[in-house]
């Protein structure tokens, strides 16, 4: 399958969680406003929501709730287990989280992306990539937070 046939959203601000969910679902299912509404639902009475940053940077609880509302189950993966323990035969895709340095390396942040099988081929659908990247093997340097079924 040509990568042109694979849905892939590019990075905007710190909305990698939104892009990871949309890339996993292979369609534009969510906007940042949808994730903001989920944050407010998870923690309605605070002026500063702990589930997001000022420019996005949503946490796994928001991602999980968004995917649950689309009919998917999110199963957390224990990173102490070997990658061979991932149930790839039942997974729609993997939600991954990696550390990254922010502006001038002044603080550490996290970045969400997904790996998904589309028509028998696994793709790295990281929103920071210019295009989907074929994955012949899993990325061992990332923290697999969840397997989405």
Taking alpha carbons only, the member of 95, 103, 111 closest to residue 63 is 95
Taking alpha carbons only, the member of 33, 24, 27 closest to residue 64 is 24
Dist. CA 60–CA 63, nearest whole Å = 5
Catalytic residue among 126, 142, 145, 147: 126
Catalytic residue among 8, 51, 111, 145: 111
In three-state form (DSSP H/G/I as H, E/B as E, the rest C), the secondary structure along 83-143 is HHHCCCCCCCEEEEEEEEECHHHCCEEEEEEEEEEECCEEEECCCCCCCCEECCCCCCCCE
> Quick check: is 111 catalytic?
yes
Catalytic residue among 16, 39, 114, 142: 16
> Quick check: is 119 catalytic?
no
> Quick check: is 145 catalytic?
no
Q: Which residues are catalytic?
A: 16, 111, 126
């Amino acid at each position: 399958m040509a990568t042109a046939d694979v849905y892939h959203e590019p990075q905007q601000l710190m909305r990698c969680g939104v892009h990871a969910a949309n890339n996993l679902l292979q369609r534009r299912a969510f906007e940042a406003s949808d994730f903001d509404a989920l944050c407010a639902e998870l923690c309605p009475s605070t002026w500063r929501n702990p589930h997001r940053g000022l420019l996005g940077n949503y946490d796994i609880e928001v991602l999980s709730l968004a995917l649950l509302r689309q009919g998917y189950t999110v199963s957390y993966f224990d990173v102490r287990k070997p990658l061979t323990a991932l149930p790839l035969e039942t997974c729609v895709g993997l939600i991954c989280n990696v550390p990254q340095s922010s502006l001038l390396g002044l603080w550490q942040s996290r970045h969400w992306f997904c790996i998904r099988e589309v028509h028998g081929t696994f793709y790295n659908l990281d929103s920071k990539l210019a295009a989907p990247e074929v994955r012949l093997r899993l990325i061992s340097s990332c923290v697999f937070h969840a397997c989405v079924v």
